[in-house]
Amino acid sequence: MSAAKVLLISLFLIAGMLLPGIVWQPKGSFEVWNIMENDFPRNGSSEEKMTFLLNYAILAPSIYNTQPWRFNVSDGSIMVMADESRWLEAADGNKREMHISIGNALENLIIAADHFGYNHTISYVPGEESIIARVSLQPNAQAPMDPQLFSAITSLEKSSPSKTNEVLREQDSVPQTANQIDLANIESISTDQDIRVFLIDDPDIRSRFLNLTLNADQVLYSDIEFKSELGHWISRGAMGPTGVQAKIDQIKVAFLDSVPGQIEKDSEIINSSLYLGFITSQMNDPESQVRAGQLFERIRLLSSSANLSLQPMNQALQAVETESEVNGLLGEKSEALNSPFVQQIFCLDVVGPANELTPRRPLEEVLI
């Protein structure tokens, strides 16, 4: 094929990507972040009150902001379900991150329920593809247990830790060692004996994890299906920018070599972070992944309320070539607690400058 034909085809494909962005805007909304606590329908029906709680559930983070959840409110309970149409087959072949994302939303739900005066009982539903859990709620008159976590749901913003830390360290204002930061609350936040969190500052583990992550970046960002899938969600405005800008970002992912930039970015974050966090489980099944997601969301919210920044770093789990090696990183640390399966990885650091929030689907779109 001649160079002219290649150029024409490329221009045609680029135009096909850009034109929809000019006339189409995604349904994602930033208005959902403006939910007001005083809007809780205290005189409303039980169903109205439970539905209101879901305004906080949908603010949870998710892989590429796909928001792979649906909810049904009936008979004094809320059914939490997976939206299989939002499963990322290339980036999340075993649905681990889909289940973790749903666990994030589930945790926000029960934190909100506690805040508005409900006890909860979670019944996980094993063996079902779409039904994840049933949350039964009972009114109570006790004070909320975790007011700081509830407040963090709506005040939480993304941050860019590595650049800020470099500046702060030059000013000698960032704690450099483990005993300078009280991490007891984070390390002890899990009451589930089957789900653990490890905060690591061991340089050997950091080096090995960095190598695995960079290898995973090379694999993932060289894979056409992965890049196409990522570009699709970028084009829908999932990452923040909408319209033409989202389409331009999609083209960058689809047509440009993203590997060097991604490697540089991840290297900077991993090397500058004070701690690496690993959430592990005893079993490697959907229920364990959902529960790991619940713990991750509590840690994320607690970190925010403590002025710490948390950056997910799961590429080494996404790439099949590196996934099995991740489970061996912690060695005796996780084996001693019979918690060998790594489900979620993150970098923990001081808070950097806030970036823009990402949009969410309107509540009515996820109710069935």
Same domain flag for 265 and 135:
no
The residue-averaged pLDDT of 170-195 equals: 66
Same domain flag for 215 and 127:
no
SS3 state at 19: helix
Answer yes or no: is 91 within a domain. yes
| Sequence-ordered list of residues with C-beta below 8 angstroms from that of 200, at least 6 positions apart, any chain | 206, 275, 276, 277, 278, 330
Answer yes or no: is 50 within a domain. yes
CATH no. for residue 122? 3.40.109.10
Answer yes or no: is 1 within a domain. no
pLDDT-based confidence at residue 156 (cuts at 50, 70, 90): low
Domain that holds residue 141: 35-154+358-366
Same domain flag for 310 and 206:
yes
Q: Residue 162 has what pLDDT?
A: 44
The identity of residue 290, as a single letter, is V
Q: Please state, in angstroms and rounded to a whole number, the distance separating the CA atoms of residues 79 and 131.
A: 7
Q: Residue 32 has what pLDDT?
A: 94
| Sequence-ordered list of residues with C-beta below 8 angstroms from that of 268, at least 6 positions apart, any chain | 162, 163
Please tell me which residue, 66 or 11, carries the higher pLDDT value.
66
Q: What is the pLDDT of residues 43-52, one digit of tens each?
A: 999 999 999 9
User: Does the pLDDT value for residue 335 go beyond 70?
Assistant: yes
Same domain flag for 182 and 276:
yes
The pLDDT mean for the chain works out to 84
The model's pTM: 0.86
Same domain flag for 141 and 190:
no
Answer yes or no: is 27 within a domain. no
Same domain flag for 190 and 322:
yes
Q: How many domains does the chain have?
A: 2
Chain centre to alpha carbon of residue 104: 7
Q: Which residues pair with 72 in a beta bridge?
A: 79
Helical (H) or strand (E) element with 299: helix 286-305
Q: What Rg, from alpha-carbon coordinates, does the chain have?
A: 21
Same domain flag for 144 and 170:
no
SS3 state at 131: strand
Q: Give me 43's structure tokens.
A: 């005189």
Same domain flag for 215 and 137:
no
| Sequence-ordered list of residues with C-beta below 8 angstroms from that of 112, at least 6 positions apart, any chain | 53, 55, 56, 57, 150, 153
Answer yes or no: is 264 within a domain. yes
User: Does the pLDDT value for residue 218 go beyond 90?
Assistant: yes
